[in-house]
């Protein structure tokens, strides 16, 4: 696998992750549910 292929694959994966994150935020807003994240080594629930 060449370096160009690795870069292309990495870019596609990152774009897919960004799209999945946006879809998750839309879903959470629509259902008025909380988002769970880690901040300063503590679990925090956030309203979207």
Burial of 18 (0-12, 13-18, 19+ CB in 10 A): exposed
Contacts of 43 (CB under 8 A, 6+ apart): 36, 37
Q: Give the residue, 48 or 6, on which the prediction is more confident.
A: 6
3-class DSSP state of 45: strand
pLDDT tens string 1-26: 799 999 999 999 999 999 999 999 99
Q: Where are the domains of the chain?
A: 3-46
What's the pLDDT band for 37 if we cut at 50, 70, 90? very high
Question: Rg of the chain's alpha carbons, rounded to an integer?
Answer: 16
Is pLDDT above 90 for 48?
no
Alpha helices in the chain, H assignment, sequence order: 3-31
pTM for this model (two decimals): 0.72
């Amino acid at each position: 696998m060449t370096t160009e292929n690795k870069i292309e694959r990495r870019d596609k994966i990152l774009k897919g992750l960004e799209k999945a994150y946006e879809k998750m935020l839309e879903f959470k807003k629509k259902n008025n549910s909380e988002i769970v994240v880690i901040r300063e080594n503590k679990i925090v629930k956030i309203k979207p």
